[in-house]
Structure 1
């Protein structure tokens, strides 16, 4: 019988191979069964997780993560992207040293958050922040460093709080109401649409730009 879900250890934590052809509803059922069978091996473990074999949309990623958490006692600290360029980019964003001298922030100071921000909710971080989930309209995510949303950004994002002009905002679905980086604020038109796929917002000579996240942009953006 073909195994549709295979769990292996790696240097980050766990690699989960997902059958590329199975309907998502059946795959989620198989994941739940697999995690229940393996629960005793991972009880209380805190680890990163990587998905292989299948390209997942942000919505599917959230569904898979939720299924794992609901059927095991694994504490997922983060989801590692298997795209090498994006993974290196995210690591650079999180591992950068704080720019302001004497602010007490060590290299690699970052916060991970899993969940959905709903209207009226605010998530704040002293350094960089990676969020697995969506930022809904009316919600705000605020950081003194960089913001990476592994989901949809439909609310407000404020990065580089305090004037840090080299901060960035990345989202897998970029549909913000407002973005602010450093002292520069851009409010999006109500009917403005962005291309599908991961996007990055950054300052270019004082002007806020939003572009697809690709190798060329990754090489161009400066981290200081």
Structure 2
């Protein structure tokens, strides 16, 4: 049995393990055959995809995703990154979030209050890069542990926090909440929409007048929010946080 391409399920979705010694063209044929044979098993599943075993360019990654989409009905929600340094940052962020959650639970128990757990979590975490054509939708807030590339899109009823580079389209407060906000470590979006208010990046202008982000400034975390009917982007600092209404 040829194990040059192995498909395995994991906690995030599916992992495609590839033999680094086999040519990429051969691997593509094998991937096509493997996923064609297992198409009925996956049905219309929405899964994160992990490509492992060899270094791939963005073009090669897209070719593989196109093959999978062509022969199956899988909805690839994101492509999982394997940057070790970034993984450590992600793990710490998730651990901090879980620690805060546990503290809140203990406080509620001591005070003797009954807390109704919502069917939909207040915030979700997604690890991976959203590439062109991929859409991530949630009825809560979302923390994206990765990048949103040009052509990628996020739609959330709550807030959107990108622990990476934001260069795609973001729609926060999709349920009409103008208090929603967007935070990114590197804020260079094609479009930001909060509730019914839209701010776009002009391809012909080096400076985004609406977003007030200069393209040549050093990269630093920024926050986008609504004020008096307009979307503004500012440095992510303590004084800005004090004005946020959750």
Scaled by the length of structure 1, the TM-score of the pair is: 0.55
State the partner residue of 1:188: 201
Q: Which runs of 4+ in 1 moved over 4 A?
A: 104-108
The Cα shift of 1:163 comes to 1.0
1:23-34 paired onto structure 2 within 5 Å: none
What SS class does the counterpart of residue 79 from structure 1 fall into? helix
1:221 aligns with 2:244: yes
Question: RMSD value over aligned CA atoms?
Answer: 3.1
| Matched position secondary structure for 1:201 | strand
Asked if the contact 2:222–2:233 (Cα under 8 Å) also holds between the matched residues in 1, the reply is: yes
Number of the residue aligned with 2:140 = 127
Q: CA deviation at 1:142?
A: 0.9
Counterpart position of 1:168: 181
Question: TM-score when scaled to structure 2?
Answer: 0.50
Q: How does 1:46-57 map onto structure 2 within 5 Å?
A: none
Q: Which residue of 2 aligns with 1:202?
A: 225
CA contact (8 A) 2:120 2:139 kept: no
Q: Which has the higher contact order (CA 8 A, sep 6+)?
A: 1
Distance in 2 between residues matched to 1:133 and 1:77, nearest whole Å? 9
Per-residue deviation, residues 158-208 of structure 1 (Å, max 9, x unmatched): 000021110000000000000000000010122333442000000011111
Report the Cα distance in structure 2 between the residues aligned to 1:222 and 1:107, rounded to whole angstroms.
Answer: 21
Question: What's the offset of the Cα at 1:79?
Answer: 3.2
Larger radius of gyration: 2
Instruction: Name structure 2 gaps, 5 residues minimum.
Output: 1-81, 105-116, 208-213
> In 2, are the aligned partners of 1:62 and 1:133 still within 8 Å (CA)?
no
